[in-house]
Amino acid sequence: MTAPTAGAARTVARRPIALGLRVVIAVCVVTSAVVHLILWNDGMKSVDVVGPAFLLNGIGGLVLGVLLLVWRSVWPLLGAIGFGAATLGAFVIATTVGLFGVQSRWEGTNEWISAITEALAIVLGIVAIVVERRMVAAARPTAV
Supply the pLDDT for residue 134: 87
Supply the pLDDT for residue 126: 97
Please tell me the number of Cα atoms within 13 Å of 42 on its side-chain side: 7
Supply the pLDDT for residue 9: 46
Q: How far is 132 from 74, CA to CA, in rounded Å?
A: 8
pLDDT averaged per 10 residues in sequence order, the chain, 144 residues: 50 75 98 96 90 95 97 96 96 88 83 96 97 83 67
Supply the pLDDT for residue 14: 62
Q: Where are the alpha helices (DSSP H) in the chain?
A: 6-41, 50-70, 74-96, 109-139
Determine the 3-state secondary structure of 60 from DSSP.
helix
Supply the pLDDT for residue 16: 87
Q: How far is 33 from 59, CA to CA, in rounded Å?
A: 7
Query: In degrees rounded to 5, what are phi and psi of residue 98?
Result: 95, 150
Helices 74-96 and 6-41 pack at an angle, to 10 degrees, of 40
- The length of the chain in residues reads 144
Q: How far is 10 from 58, CA to CA, in rounded Å?
A: 37
Closest to 122 measured CA to CA, from 91, 100, 101: 91
